[in-house]
Amino acid sequence: MTSSDPSSRHILHLLGRLWREHVRQHLPKMIVALVLMSIAGGTLGLAAWMIQPLFDLVLSSDSQGGVGWVAMVIAAIFVVRAVTGYGHRLIIVSIGLKVVTELQTRIVKHLLTLDMSFYHDHAPGSLIERVRGDTGALQNVASNVVMSIGRDAVSLVSLLAVMFVNDWRWSLLALVGVPILVLPLFIVQRLVRRFSYDARAAAADLSTQLDEMFHGIQSVKVNRLEDLQERTWTSRVANALRIQMRAQRAAAGTPAMVDLISAIGFLAVIWVGGRDIIDGTKSVGEFMSFFTALALVLDPLRRLFSLTAQLQAGAASLERIYELLEMQPKILPPASPRPIEPGPIVFDDVSFAYGQMPVLRGLSFTAEEGRTTALVGPSGAGKTTVFGLVTRLIDPASGRVTIGGTATTEADLDRLRDTIAVVGQDTALFDDTITANIRLGKLGATEAELRDAAEAASVLEFADRLPDGLNTRVGPRGSGLSGGQRQRVAIARAMLRDAPILLMDEPTSALDAESERYVQEALARLSTGRTTLVIAHRLSTIRDADKIVVMEQGRVIEEGDHAGLMAADGAYARLSRLQSAGVAPDL
């Protein structure tokens, strides 16, 4: 079994899971909907049955009163059909929307449990398509399927009953071509299943490009990449359209085959039925009643035969949803977590690789409690990976990372992360108020605590000048604030968190002089008394660090304070001289 062509047994298993986990709780409402669907479906058979008395008893006898009576009955039948049809559609759609909402919430909740290795392999746009696109497609298919099973199945049975009551020979002639559909339908449903899965994947690819393009719109504009983005989009849209058209062509084959088979049935019935009427063995009313039922039966028959194709399309989305839900995080809390206390951060012969690419190779160093340790080295030396290991977003392949003597892999995961505050270059702000973004550091903080943190981080310096102060919305990804203002909000968040360990991926590297001054002052207040690890991009900013660890290719090649390393005239001194001369880029 491949992911793009799941077996029928696998599909039934997934449908069973969906029923047990999300649909069964709505069973009472579904029963009401099925009753209404049955009534709506049965009205077609009743309407076809009323055609016989209309022709044989009313029209043939020129009875004016009879015409009115039959007309009122037929009208009442369609009024009942309208009311019950409206009721069952409303119930089924509401159930579908509730199930989709529950599924979306469950998927998002599950995604939040997965670790960073998962997000390295899955683009945000692809995940958005799983949460929104696949569940939406499933809801549409499921609603159509349930309504077809309930209403169209009853309609089909009632209309077939009218046909067989009128003449069983005519009925068999009308349905003689149906067995011919079995093999083509089997082939079509497999094609629809495969093409639908590919179509959902193509839609995810489009969502990924849109996400990357809109998030990187500044780079697109500055580097004049609009034409390139347009060409890439056009190519991907054309590919998605091609795949979708394959799926639609396969799905459209089913009703087309039903119509072709129906042509055979109509021809046979008209030929034989016409001879029976001429011979006097059947009345015009009987023939018209049968013919009306036969004409009406095509629509529910077409929808029911199309049901297999719709089920395959829904199965493709359902499989993608459960494929995601079955993914498990690799970073798991220990079965018996050990308490974690403030203390030095120790890397003991730590190795780590991203796939087949080694990043850390026996890294060993100590960040002393209450002191500032700076990490220096060229791009790719493994500095950011160190932060991932401390926060346990990733685990070492070998060696140990300990905090206060407790290995990160043995500590309670929530407690571990509660002891750490992070301030990075790319500040994660959400489209909410400044207050809400600061409060993320401590959700239960009082207004006084929040304002003290904002003041200590120099947020009030600019927020008090804004029309809504701290209640000003920052815009998507903090776009309403400058880079320096975003960093100060992040620092305020870290101050409010008041964690004993501070990790800083030097947040002043891309700021102007005035913004850097405010941020540096706030960082100095934030790091006081905390065990601080800072990634240094500009060596001039870490002269006062208690310890500087120089990394290269995942190893420590030097460590000491600024004065000692300059006196040793090693790698750090060479980097410092090159950077001072403007030769070496920021690290």
8-325: in CATH 1.20.1560.10: yes
**Mean pLDDT across the chain:** 80
Max avg pLDDT among 106-115, 159-168, 255-264: 106-115
Mean pLDDT across the stretch 166-194?
A: 69
Q: Which residue has the higher pLDDT, 584 or 363?
A: 363
Residue 11 has pLDDT above 80, yes or no: no
Token pair 């951060």: residue = 345
Q: Which residue has the higher pLDDT, 163 or 32?
A: 32
Q: Are 333 and 412 in contact (CB under 8 A)?
A: yes
What pLDDT is attached to residue 2? Answer: 42
Q: Which residue has the higher pLDDT, 383 or 45?
A: 383
Split at pLDDT 50, 70, 90, the class of 242 is confident
Residue 5 has pLDDT above 50, yes or no: no
Q: Is 228 exposed, middle or buried (0-12, 13-18, 19+ CB in 10 A)?
A: exposed
What pLDDT is attached to residue 78? Answer: 80
What pLDDT is attached to residue 90? Answer: 87
Split at pLDDT 50, 70, 90, the class of 586 is low
Q: Which residue has the higher pLDDT, 440 or 306?
A: 440
What does DSSP assign to residue 217? H
Residue 318 has pLDDT above 80, yes or no: yes
Q: Which residue has the higher pLDDT, 22 or 277?
A: 22
Max avg pLDDT among 39-48, 127-136, 197-206: 127-136
Q: Which residue has the higher pLDDT, 294 or 396?
A: 396
Q: Can you give 167-202 as a three-state secondary structure string?
A: CHHHHHHHCCCHHHHHHHHHHHHHHHHHHHHHHHHH
What pLDDT is attached to residue 4? Answer: 43
Mean pLDDT across the stretch 488-496?
A: 88
Whole-prediction pTM: 0.72
Residue 395 phi, psi (nearest 5):
-115, 145
In the chain, what percentage of residues exceed pLDDT 90?
A: 16
Residue 255 has pLDDT above 70, yes or no: no
Of 28-37, 195-204, 267-276, 358-367, which gets the smallest average pLDDT?
Answer: 267-276
Residue 32 has pLDDT above 50, yes or no: yes
What pLDDT is attached to residue 361? Answer: 93
Amino acid at 54: L
Token pair 């003991």: residue = 348
Of 44-48, 187-191, 507-511, which gets the smallest average pLDDT?
Answer: 507-511
Amino acid at 422: V
Q: For the chain, which residues make up each domain, given as ranges?
A: 8-325
Residue 384 has pLDDT above 70, yes or no: yes
Residue 518 has pLDDT above 80, yes or no: no
Measured between alpha carbons, how far is 179 from 177 in angstroms, rounded to an integer? 6
What pLDDT is attached to residue 485? Answer: 86
Tokens of 275: 């001879």
Please tell me the total number of residues recorded for the chain in this structure: 587
How do residues 530-543 score in pLDDT, each as one tens digit? 899 998 877 877 88
Got the DSSP string for 511-579? Answer: --HHHHHHHHHHHHHHHTTSEEEEE-SSGGGGTT-SEEEEEETTEEEEEE-HHHHHHHTSHHHHHHHHH
Residue 500 has pLDDT above 80, yes or no: yes
What pLDDT is attached to residue 3? Answer: 43
Got the DSSP string for 371-412? Answer: SEEEEE--TTSSHHHHHHHHTTSS--SEEEEEETTEETTTB-
Choose among 61, 129, 152, 499: nearest CA to 323.
Answer: 129
Max avg pLDDT among 147-161, 307-321, 377-391, 475-489: 377-391
Q: Is 162 exposed, middle or buried (0-12, 13-18, 19+ CB in 10 A)?
A: buried
